[in-house]
Amino acid sequence: MRHRKRTIKLGRTSSHRRAMLAGLVCDLIHSKRITTTLAKARATRPLAEKMVTLGKGGTLAQRRIAIARLRQPLRVKVLFEEIAPSFQERSGGYTRIVKLGRRSSDSAEMAILEWVEAGAPSSSRPRAKAKAETAVAGAEAEATA
Q: Is residue 9 part of a domain?
A: no
Note the pLDDT of residue 128. Answer: 47
DSSP tag of 39: H
State how many domains the chain has: 1
Q: Report d(CA 95, CA 42) in Å as an integer.
A: 10
Q: Is residue 145 part of a domain?
A: no
Contact (CB, 8 A) for 115 and 28: yes
Q: Is residue 132 part of a domain?
A: no
* Average pLDDT score, the chain: 88
The model carries a pTM of 0.79
Q: Is residue 111 part of a domain?
A: yes
Average pLDDT for residues 110-114, to the nearest whole number? 98
Q: Is residue 5 part of a domain?
A: no
Q: Is residue 112 part of a domain?
A: yes
Q: Is residue 92 part of a domain?
A: yes
Q: Is residue 125 part of a domain?
A: no
- For the domain that residue 89 is a member of, what is the CATH number? 3.90.1030.10
Domain holding 78, by residue range, is 14-118
